Amino acid sequence: MPSVGSYAQAVGRSGFRAISEWLQELPGPEVALHIGAPDLPSPAHVVAAVEQAVRRGTARYGPNRGEPELVEAIRAKLVRQNDVRVGTEQVLVTAGATQGVQLALSAILAPGQEVLVPDPGWPNYAMAVRSLGGVARPYALAADGSAATQLAELERAITPATHVIVVNSPGNPTGAVLSAETLHGLVDLARRRDLWVVSDECYESFQFTGPHLSPAALDDERVISCFSFSKTFAMPGMRVGYLVVPRSLSALCLRLQEMAICCVNIAAQAGALAALEGPQQALTDMRTTYLRRRAGVTRRLRDAGIPYTDPQGAFYVFARVTAPPFGHDDKGGDWDWTRELLREKRVLVAPGSTFGARGGGWVRIALTADDEALAEGIARLVAFCHADADAASLTVTTGTADERRDPVGARPRPGPAAQ
Ligand SMILES: Cc1ncc(COP(=O)(O)O)c(C=O)c1O
């Protein structure tokens, strides 16, 4: 047989694929909290715009950059909301942030170069880097750390081969938001060490601690920003996002887009235009809903003494379940733990090590189910943890130093401030 591409083989397997395999052998979850896709409906005016576009006839190719009205609406939004002042030639409509990240990296990365990716973080960053022959180097930004500590950690991770820093704030899976001080420092660091910054801002609309800061507002030469309609407007299956690139990359990215997908589905782009220009009430309602769900889940975890990171954005809660007092597996154990939770309690969450080695021992709970389902899911998870703790106390009572270490800054929240 002819061989397959070596970069393709290096991409690795997504943890979510393994979960799909479990679902072929185990009964499915009664409460599914593992997927990071909004359960809320796409706004009605978005759906109507897509329908109308299909009826008008959209079975044609469009410009590589995106439909001109949408590109202009995105440019105006960037000025209005992100303080990012760019020309339309710096905007490219992409098939979600997934393709945006891939396109950005393919424009700037050469084989062998290193990319700093957040750990825990969205696994596709490292997969995209490897698909291009690059090397993904994980970095940790302790959620509760000061800007100085976080920047020192980041600088320590830089080697002579480092070429790009990927940043994701608000972040998946922890919901951590980097402070303005950290983001300013990160952009300064990139300037000093002559690095690109790829900033994934697909959760920009779900930041609950002050306004979102786009790193591209701080530098117009080395920051590439990836945005998405998937989460903001609850339309992930439409596959629309956009990339904002420095002028120096704009022609190159357009060529790459022509090669990769030609253009994004035209009817979906009509939906995205309606999302940007139509009523924003659905977005306000989504924010309220995620905040209420976050409050309910964190309160239940806190009452049960289960540590979690303080989610300041996105729609996830990252909880530490397989560390003392809940379990005792010094490999992290979150895979086995999650599988057992599914088998015994029919609740499915995402194992933390799906998001990198530092997620070992944790699980991600997606706030993408209604209040009732979340309450039931957390009640079952808590019961499972307590049973695990009882079993652990009969065998091993203390964890290793590693287990006690707290790489992502979690602690049981002391009071209502965590809401
Ligand atoms: C951090 C992050 N970036 C990008 C994406 C993908 O978004 P899109 O649907 O726009 O491709 C996700 C999806 O979960 C994500 O969590």
| Domain locations along the chain | 14-40+282-418, 44-277
Of 64-68, 254-258, 316-320, 384-388, the range with the lowest mean pLDDT is 384-388
Helices (H), 202-361: 250-260, 266-277, 281-304, 334-345
- With 70 as the cut, is the pLDDT of residue 247 above it? yes
CB 204 within 8 A of CB 189: no
CATH topology of domain 44-277: Aspartate Aminotransferase; domain 2 (3.40.640)
pLDDT tens, residue by residue, 151-183: 999 999 999 999 999 999 999 999 999 999 999
Instruction: Quote the distance between the C-alpha of residue 91 and its chain's center.
Output: 21
Q: How far is the CA of 251 from the centre of ligand 1 (A)?
A: 25
- Residue 56 Cα to ligand 1 midpoint, Å, equals 30
Cα of 327 from ligand 1 centre, angstroms: 31
pLDDT exceeds 70 at position 323: no
CATH code: domain 14-40+282-418 is 3.90.1150.10
* Chain centroid to CA 381: 23
Helix axes 44-56, 266-277, angle to 10 degrees: 140
Residues 375, 6: Cα–Cα separation, whole Å: 45
Ligand 1, CB within 6 Å, residue ranges: 36, 96-98, 122, 168, 172, 200, 202, 228, 230, 236, 241
User: Parallel, antiparallel, or unpaired: how do β-strands 223-228 and 114-118 relate?
Assistant: unpaired
Q: What residue owns the CA closest to ligand 1's atom 14?
A: 36
Residue 60 has what DSSP assignment? S
Tell me the C-alpha distance between 110 and 260, whole Å.
Answer: 18
Ligand 1 atom 16, closest CA: 172
Q: In the prediction, which pLDDT does 387 show?
A: 79
What pLDDT, on the 0 to 100 scale, is given for residue 59? 82
**Does residue 256 contact residue 229 with C-beta atoms inside 8 Å?**
no
Distance, CA 40 to ligand 1 centroid (Å)? 16
Cβ distance 151 to 191 under 8 Å? no
CA distance 11 to 123: 10
pLDDT at 105: 98
User: Ligand 1: which of 93, 101, 122, 232 to mutate, most ligand atoms within 8 Å of CB?
Assistant: 122
Beta bridge partners of 196: 164
Ligand 1 atom closest to 97 (CA): 10
pLDDT band, residue 15 (cuts 50/70/90): confident
Give residue-wise pLDDT tens across range 104-153.
999 999 999 999 999 999 999 999 999 999 999 999 987 667 899 999 99
User: What is the structure's pLDDT at 18?
Assistant: 81
Ligand 1 atom at minimal distance to the Cα of residue 236: 9
What pLDDT does residue 322 have? Answer: 73
pLDDT tens digits along 208-226: 989 999 999 999 999 999 9
